Amino acid sequence: METMTKSDLKEFRSETKRWLEENCPTSMRTPPKEFADLYWGGRNSTFSSEDQKNWFTKMLEKKWIVPYWDTQYGGGGLSPEENNILTQEMIRIGCRKPLFSFGISMLGPALHQFANKEQKMRFLPDITSGKTWWCQGYSEPNAGSDLAGLQTKAEDKGDHYLVSGSKVWTSYADKADWIFCLVRTDFEATKHNGISFLLIDMKSAGVSTRPIKLISGKSPFCETFFDGVKVPKENLIGTLNDGWTIAKYLLTHERQMIGGVGETDVRKAVHEIALENMPSKDGILSDSILRSEIAEIEMNDAVFEMTIQRITDEAKTGVNAGALSSFFKYYGTEQNVARMELISSITGTNGLLWESDNKDAVSVVRTFCRSKGNTIEGGTSEVQLGIISKRILNLPS
Amino acid sequence: MALIITEEQKLLRDSATEFLAMNAPIEQFRELRDDNYRAFDEGLWTKLVEMGWTALTIPEEFDGLEFGYTGLGQVLEEMGKNLTKAPLFSSIVLGATTLTESSNQELKAAWLTHLMDGTKRFAFALDEQTYFDPTSIATTAKKANNQYTLSGKKTMIIDGASADAFVVVAKTEDNEINLFLVEAKTAGISISTDVLLDAGTYASVTFDQVKVSEANRISTAGQGSNLLNQILNTACICLSAEMLGMVSEVFDQTIAYLKEREQFGKRIGTYQALQHRAAIMFSEIELCKSVVIKGLQAIDEKSEDLDQLASLAKAKLGKTIKLVTNEAMQMHGGIGVTDDVNIGFYFKRARVLQRLFGDYSYHLDRFARLNKY
């Protein structure tokens, strides 16, 4: 790729600005409010409006569904600088993502890193075109924090693997077309060394799903069952029995996503919610105890954001920040849970409304309940603290 | 601006690490304390001046290095690690900053050179009561015939006993805050000292009808409060840099101890009860590093967010240094509460720094007020 000069980038920005202005419908420039506002692609997804369809189609034609992937996979082939500019310009006018996809954020990076040429050509273009909705099959009923203890087995039957077992916490498994799975291919080896990374078509005979209801109500989570499912051997990614390497690589991505790293902050400040809901005198909240709890949360939010910036800046100078994803996941989610608990208190009895016309209040209580899972999913806080103490502090085991 | 230090700042930091290991390691702190709480070593002060540390924040216009507070912060952090005792904070961070931030060119020309070459030292006289409250000042400055008469009592003056002059915060008759430069030998000044928990000597100074010339009023009319605010912001961030050094050092020593101390036939660092607490401290310290560099850069950039960043830094470091010094002591077990090891020095110094220029709750409250709630 040719190096872009500063003036080239300037031109790219103004051209991008013009194009987005022209092609992004006004209704696609508001924050998504409900599930229907997100388009996930795949055979089970429908557009909820003409605007949503148009926006997706325009971006697809422009190859900007995944703008930074190579053009041979249907990506836009943009350089990191160009991609940054595109992201900034989309955020500036509030464009929604045209496609929500674990294929882009999770499976794609792993395929780029570990799949062979043929597999890349087979799977990546269907991600960039939104044809395949991918879900993730990692955890099992008896392998949560101890993920490597997973027992779903894939037996070698010559030209295929025979998969039996079950997965849990598979988001949108009831809607997805394909699942990327960790399966056990060697029962003799030590637990980290007998795992493989397998792609399975959800239409295969023997696959079934059951939705999971959470304390917050309906959820995207499912249980997924594999009852003697035949999976072609060419669906194995990477080396047989070395799937843990891919799993670790992906978990790092996932932790950063859950920890909120790299997301734009559109939340209303906690103190603004407090001023709307609680008594105050001369602009000072009257409840001094809740007031200091709010200040503490906001202080830590502000300093955590600085920390994301500092570590990103350090990484650019070559400092290895890999192990710090556990710190981000730990701190970001603990902070989120504490924030939701506080917002719930601030809103008083409104913060208890479960079914009501007051949709905003209901959303607070549902989000509050949902947040309790943040410090569990993607590796519990305790698992993250264990990783920090072993990998960063090198404490003995 | 990227939240990392520049190559030049890193060089300065490395030279400070090396210099302090050679000239002012933690053992010197113990020696000074055991020598009847000696405030600092004059020989070391001369060397600090030769290192250029007193000139870092002084503008080139007055022959300073104009290297900035981010640079000075690196030095203060290293001094924190060693609990180095020197009047750098009192005379430069508080003293020289008062002049450089003021618009009084005559006083700058008269004093900055001497502050830089270390032959003269300032001390900052603000506190009057037990709880930090820079808005409630009872010391008065009454004007008559081109001179002011200062009356009042100041406490908690860092390095006050050996200062050549005091920066005194007083209220003029228009009820405005003003800052005055008062030489220590002026008639009507009496000084007493107390030793605090950190083995440091702090002065209380009584100003009894002390005459100060108009020329020695540092602040211009109506600007005293702003100048004071600027000095306090700078002080909070610089103290946070020093606390960050202390926190890092105590944490490193504690982690090393967890890896070496054996109980029940195992190294205590293998116990999850301690591992998780160590990891929590690690996380809090990561946050501390960010707010300190952000704050130091904000002083240099004259950022509009300085008020908020100063309170964030002082609150976050105050809270974290309490956590880390307490955990360090607990994890060291019995030896941690003896005077034979240095953990107690950090613990005691931490309590003093936590309270100087406003404690955790003071700055949490200020942060909330700045955000209008």
* Domain at A317, CATH number: 1.20.140.10
Q: Which amino acid is at A30?
A: T
The mean of the pLDDT values for chain B is 97
Residues B217 and B182 sit within 8 Å (Cβ to Cβ): no
Q: Measured between CB atoms, does B256 come within 8 Å of chain A?
A: no
The DSSP H or E segment spanning A285 is strand A284-285
Tell me what pLDDT residue B367 has. Answer: 98
* Helix axes A325-346 and A359-371, enclosed angle (nearest 10): 140
Compute the distance between CA of residue B242 and CA of residue B349 in angstroms, rounded to an integer.
11
> B207 - beta bridge partners?
B152, B189
Q: Collapsing DSSP states into helix, strand and coil, what is residue B58?
A: coil
Taking only the tens place, the pLDDT of each residue in A35-94 is 888 999 999 999 999 999 999 999 999 999 999 999 999 999 999 899 989 999 998 999
Compute the distance between CA of residue A23 and CA of residue A18 in angstroms, rounded to an integer.
9
Tell me whether residue A336 is in a domain. Answer: yes
Q: Find, among B310, B321, B306, the residue nearest to B354 by Cα.
A: B321
Compute the distance between CA of residue B317 and CA of residue B325 in angstroms, rounded to an integer.
12
Q: Does the beta-carbon distance from A284 to B373 stay under 8 Å?
A: yes
Taking only the tens place, the pLDDT of each residue in A5-50 is 788 899 999 999 999 999 999 999 988 877 888 999 999 999 999 9
Is the confidence at residue A263, as pLDDT, over 50? no
The verdict on A225 and A284 lying in the same domain is: no
Compute the distance between CA of residue B99 and CA of residue B109 in angstroms, rounded to an integer.
10
Compute the distance between CA of residue B31 and CA of residue B43 in angstroms, rounded to an integer.
14
CA atoms within 13 A on the CB side of A308: 18
E strand intervals along A104-159 = 134-137, 153-156
Compute the distance between CA of residue A91 and CA of residue A266 in angstroms, rounded to an integer.
11
Handedness of CA A311, A317, A320, A322 (dihedral sign): positive
Tell me whether residue A210 is in a domain. Answer: yes
Best mutation target, A271, A286, A309, A310, to test chain B (most B CBs within 10 A): A310
Domain boundaries, position A63: 15-100
Tell me what pLDDT residue A321 has. Answer: 72
User: Which residues of chain B lie closer than 8 angstroms to A283, CB-CB?
Assistant: 372-373
The verdict on A304 and A346 lying in the same domain is: yes
The verdict on A236 and A278 lying in the same domain is: no
Q: Find, among B81, B79, B85, B70, the residue nearest to B10 by Cα.
A: B70
Compute the distance between CA of residue A66 and CA of residue A59 in angstroms, rounded to an integer.
9
Instruction: Indicate the CATH number for domain B224-370.
Output: 1.20.140.10
Compute the distance between CA of residue B245 and CA of residue B80 in angstroms, rounded to an integer.
5
Best mutation target, A312, A388, A397, to test chain B (most B CBs within 10 A): A388
CA B326 to chain centre: 21
Q: Mark which of A241, A274, A292 sits at the end of a domain.
A: A241
Tell me whether residue A120 is in a domain. Answer: no
Residue in chain B nearest A307 by alpha carbon: B290
Residues A299 and A311 sit within 8 Å (Cβ to Cβ): no
Strands B189-195 and B201-213: antiparallel
The pair of structure tokens assigned to B26 is 């933690």
**Rg, C-alpha atoms of chain A:** 23
Q: Does the beta-carbon distance from A310 to B289 stay under 8 Å?
A: yes
> A280 - beta bridge partners?
A285
Q: Measured between CB atoms, does B3 come within 8 Å of chain A?
A: yes
User: Which residues of chain B lie closer than 8 angstroms to A388, CB-CB?
Assistant: 279, 282-283
Q: Does the beta-carbon distance from A306 to B291 stay under 8 Å?
A: yes
The verdict on A371 and A335 lying in the same domain is: yes
Best mutation target, B6, B7, B268, B286, to test chain A (most A CBs within 10 A): B286
Compute the distance between CA of residue B46 and CA of residue B26 in angstroms, rounded to an integer.
19
The pair of structure tokens assigned to B104 is 């009084």
Q: Find, among A294, A324, A293, the residue nearest to A308 by Cα.
A: A324
Taking only the tens place, the pLDDT of each residue in B338-369 is 999 999 999 999 999 999 999 999 999 999 99
Is the confidence at residue A2, as pLDDT, over 70? no
CA A255 to chain centre: 8
Residue in chain A nearest B280 by alpha carbon: A385
Taking only the tens place, the pLDDT of each residue in A190-203 is 999 999 999 999 99
The DSSP H or E segment spanning A168 is strand A160-168
The conformational region for residue A318 under phi > 0 = left, psi -120 to 50 = alpha, else beta, is: left
Instruction: Indicate the CATH number for domain B7-121.
Output: 1.10.540.10
Three-point CA angle B241, B246, B250, nearest 5°: 150
Domain holding A235: CATH number?
2.40.110.10
Compute the distance between CA of residue B137 and CA of residue B10 in angstroms, rounded to an integer.
40
Q: Does the beta-carbon distance from B282 to A388 stay under 8 Å?
A: yes
Q: Collapsing DSSP states into helix, strand and coil, what is residue B36?
A: coil
Residues B80 and B242 sit within 8 Å (Cβ to Cβ): yes
Compute the distance between CA of residue A29 and CA of residue A124 in angstroms, rounded to an integer.
28
**Cβ neighbour number for residue A393 with a 10 Å cutoff:** 18
The DSSP H or E segment spanning B106 is helix B105-116
The correct answer on CATH 3.40.30.10 for the domain covering B123-216 is no
Asked whether this complex has an ipTM greater than 0.90, the answer is yes
The verdict on A150 and A270 lying in the same domain is: no
Taking only the tens place, the pLDDT of each residue in B197-209 is 999 999 999 999 9
Backbone angles phi, psi at B357, to 5 degrees: 60, 30
Q: Which amino acid is at B24?
A: A
End-to-end CA distance of chain B: 29
Residues B241 and B211 sit within 8 Å (Cβ to Cβ): no
Tell me whether residue A117 is in a domain. Answer: no
Q: Find, among B310, B308, B329, B318, the residue nearest to B351 by Cα.
A: B318
Q: What share of chain A is helix, strand, coil (3-state, %, to 5)?
A: 50, 15, 35
For chain A, the domain total comes to: 3
Q: Find, among B275, B274, B270, B250, the residue nearest to B260 by Cα.
A: B270
Q: What is the mean pLDDT of residues B129-152?
A: 96
User: Which residues of chain B lie closer than 8 angstroms to A327, CB-CB?
Assistant: 282-283, 286
CA B351 to chain centre: 13
Taking only the tens place, the pLDDT of each residue in A120-174 is 999 999 999 999 999 999 999 999 888 999 999 999 999 999 999 999 999 999 9
Q: Collapsing DSSP states into helix, strand and coil, what is residue B93?
A: helix
* DSSP secondary structure string for all residues of B254-282: HHHHHHH-EETTEEGGG-HHHHHHHHHHH
**Cβ neighbour number for residue B194 with a 10 Å cutoff:** 11
Which sequence spans correspond to the domains of chain B? 7-121, 123-216, 224-370
Single pTM value for the model: 0.90
CA distance B291 to chain A (A): 6
The verdict on A217 and A283 lying in the same domain is: no
Lookup result for tokens 């202080």: A299
Residues A149 and A182 sit within 8 Å (Cβ to Cβ): no
The verdict on A387 and A264 lying in the same domain is: yes
Taking only the tens place, the pLDDT of each residue in B165-199 is 999 999 999 999 999 999 999 999 999 999 999 99
Q: Find, among A215, A185, A212, the residue nearest to A198 by Cα.
A: A185
Percentage of chain A surpassing pLDDT 70?
Answer: 96
Tell me what pLDDT residue A262 has. Answer: 47
Q: Find, among A276, A272, A331, the residue nearest to B368 by Cα.
A: A272
Residues A188 and A194 sit within 8 Å (Cβ to Cβ): yes
The verdict on A145 and A81 lying in the same domain is: no
